[in-house]
Amino acid sequence: MRIEDDAGISDLLVGEETRLCGGFGFTEGPVWIATDSALVFSDIPGNRQHIWRPGDAEAAVYREPSGWSNGLTLDSDGNLLACEHGGRRVSRAPYGSPGTESAAADSWDGKQLNSPNDIVVHSSGAILFTDPAYGIDSGRTPRFGQEGQQQELDFQGVYRIDRDGSLHLVVSEGFSQPNGLAFNPDESQLYIGDSHERLIWRYEVNSDLSLGERVLFLDQTGDERRGAPDGMKVDSDGRLWTTGAGGVSAHAADGTYLGVFEMDEHAANLTFGGDDFRTLYMTAMTGLYSIETNVRGIVPGSR
């Protein structure tokens, strides 16, 4: 592991990273299931979801086919939510019941969604997800179950599903390919990354869950290191942890860059988990990794 410590990231990490299991196509979307002491993650090209438990040498298949799922999280009712590339939808099923998924959202204004990517749940029960056009826009080779499918929407947006099931377009202007997203601890702010532009924006969250003023939080446009803002999580002290240029970086709530660490495999996404939520799990190309930390994450679906 290579660390660049600008302002204290080394003090937040304990030891070296551990490779937990491997042999996958491209891993993404990890979520820790506290009630089961297990981690579920996506292998996108494998068209399956895997489940791993501490002490296991290998991960088992949790769901197959998975609709070429990417981002995963839990809602406050214990459902596993999945952003499906191939299904072009957000699906929902009780955790532990793979194969019973139904669509939480699959279209906007009568047109099919692009390719839902990442997802987060608000304490109200509202679900927010990003919908870039990876795999279906004309400039890319279709993949992950989207062969022959065309983009129907003329924008890439961020949506909200309310508790009553209604779908709302939260923001579309100002984004090329919205990707990772995360609330700060008190949910007064929302971070949204744009992987194509290599930027992370921070929005004020209004009482009705609409978004207010935005400010540029992270700019990696001039960084020549591998990676662009992708998966992100906020710890209980408000630091933003994100995969991107140079590896996994940490940033204080005021924007101070704390540093970055890179493994042999570049991480695409991450989440906190473990019994005390101090373990950082990372999906990195073909493998699943972890590193212990001195910070504590926020339990999905617990707000």
pLDDT in tens, 104-130: 999 999 999 999 999 999 999 999 999
* CATH classification at residue 106: 2.120.10.30
Kindly state whether residue 69 falls inside one of the protein's structural domains: yes
Does residue 142 carry a pLDDT above 90?
A: no
| DSSP H helices in the chain | 9-12
Q: Which of 51, 45, 121 is nearest to 90 (CA)?
A: 121
DSSP reduced 3-state for 11: helix
Kindly state whether residue 198 falls inside one of the protein's structural domains: yes
pLDDT digits (tens, 9 = 90+) for 32-57: 999 999 999 999 999 999 999 999 99
Kindly state whether residue 189 falls inside one of the protein's structural domains: yes
pLDDT digits (tens, 9 = 90+) for 157-214: 999 999 999 999 999 999 999 999 999 999 999 999 999 999 999 999 999 999 999 9
Kindly state whether residue 298 falls inside one of the protein's structural domains: no
Reduce the secondary structure of 123-175 to three states and give it as a string.
CCCCEEEEECCCCCCCCCCCCCCCCCCCCCCCCCEEEEECCCCCEEEEECCCC
- pLDDT exceeding 90 applies to what percent of the chain? 89
> Structural domain tally of the chain?
1
